[in-house]
Amino acid sequence: MSDASYRDAIFSTPLDRMARFSFDEQVVACFPDMIRRSVPGYGQILGMLGLIARRHLRHGAHVYDLGCSLGAAGLALAGTLPPAAFRYTGVDLSPAMVARARETLAAECPEHAVEIVEGDIRELDYRPSGMIVLDFTLQFLAPEDRDAVIDKLFAALEPGGVLVLSEKIVAEDEQDNAWLVERYHDFKRANGYSELEISQKRTALENVLVPDTLAAHHERLARAGFPRSQTWFQFLNFASLIAFKDARYGET
């Protein structure tokens, strides 16, 4: 077994109360296991990226994957589309993620035009793109930085372009939200996480992962200029939205 498939046991022993979640080597080693066991619908969302690209991506267009972690979206696209169909740039702030993503993509899809850039998605000089994937990353930015990033993505998208935005969300109604969070914890228990792991991860993510409501996401997309967006997937308190650069659904 390669160390890329280590089981996530980061929060299985009592930690200092101040420990905050960060994307370091320890997280990278167990990341594929962690994200599959803790993000409901992660595999389904990845699986749809290639199908969305097939419908909306002009042949040879550029794709960004922002907060790419280990480049899972790039792998998913390469699994569905031939090498000439797209050029892919994954961007991540964590040097440990970037190093592992480069190794993985070089090994898994050597024929495809893929690159991984170490950088901050708030500061990137974006090139024109046909599709932008922002999966489970906006939630880690300070709330006051989110509008400016979405504004830049709208500007970077070419006519007919699409933004796929996947996020942990919070429900507007307190009771609805409590129900979703409780069932989410059931989901994690069913995936083998202990009470200690669930509560420690929750504490570590406090003030690090600040979720928005679905309405806040759609409003932000509209403010940035997207004439049309919809929620195409939701599983408990995790959702994926698609936003269209044009008012009419462009299809290739």
**Binding site per annotation, positions for S-adenosyl-L-methionine:** 42, 67-69, 120-121, 202
State the Cα–Cα distance between residues 67 and 146, nearest whole angstrom: 14
State the Cα–Cα distance between residues 198 and 160, nearest whole angstrom: 41
Question: What DSSP line would sit under 107-130, residue for residue?
Answer: HH-TTSEEEEEE--TTT--PPPEE
Q: How far is the CB of 26 from ligand GEK (least distance, A)?
A: 13
Q: How far is the CB of 39 from ligand GEK (least distance, A)?
A: 6
Minimum CB distance to ligand GEK smaller for 61 or for 68: 68
Minimum CB distance to ligand GEK smaller for 160 or for 184: 184
Q: How far is the CB of 109 from ligand GEK (least distance, A)?
A: 15
Q: How far is the CB of 76 from ligand GEK (least distance, A)?
A: 9
Q: How far is the CB of 248 from ligand GEK (least distance, A)?
A: 28
State the Cα–Cα distance between residues 130 and 245, nearest whole angstrom: 10
Beta bridge partners of 132: 64, 163
Minimum CB distance to ligand GEK smaller for 135 or for 197: 135
Cα 88 to the center of its chain, rounded Å? 15
Q: How far is the CB of 118 from ligand GEK (least distance, A)?
A: 9
Contact 74/85 with Cβ under 8 angstroms? no
Contact 6/33 with Cβ under 8 angstroms? yes
Q: Which residues are documented as binding site?
A: 42, 67-69, 120-121, 202
Minimum CB distance to ligand GEK smaller for 121 or for 243: 121
Strands 157-168 and 129-135: parallel
Residue whose beta carbon is closest to ligand GEK:
67
Minimum CB distance to ligand GEK smaller for 67 or for 161: 67
Q: Which helix (H) or strand (E) holds 24?
A: none
Contact 244/229 with Cβ under 8 angstroms? yes
Cβ-proximal residues to 249 (8 Å cutoff; 6+ apart), any chain: 228
Minimum CB distance to ligand GEK smaller for 95 or for 110: 95
Q: Which helix (H) or strand (E) holds 223?
A: helix 214-224
Query: How big is the CA angle at 93 (ends 208 and 44), to the nearest 5 degrees?
Result: 75
Q: Which stretches of the chain bind ligand GEK, using CB under 6 A? A: 23, 35, 67-69, 72-73, 91-94, 97, 120-122, 135-137, 140-141
